[in-house]
Amino acid sequence: MNEDLPQKPPAKPSSARMSRKERLAQELRANLKRRKAATRRHKWTDGDDGETSSGNHDD
Task: Render 20-46 in DSSP notation, one character per residue.
Answer: HHHHHHHHHHHHHHHHHHHHHHHHHH-
pLDDT at 28: 97
pLDDT at 20: 92
- 24 domain-assigned: yes
Distance between CA 27 and CA 17 in Å, rounded? 15
Tens digit of pLDDT per residue, the chain (59 long)? 556 666 666 666 555 677 999 999 999 999 999 999 888 877 766 555 555 555 555 55
- 4 domain-assigned: no
Q: Please, what sign has the CA dihedral across residues 24, 25, 28, 34?
A: negative
Q: pTM here?
A: 0.41
In the chain, how many domains are there?
Answer: 1
pLDDT at 41: 78
Q: In which domain, by residue range, is 24 found? A: 20-47
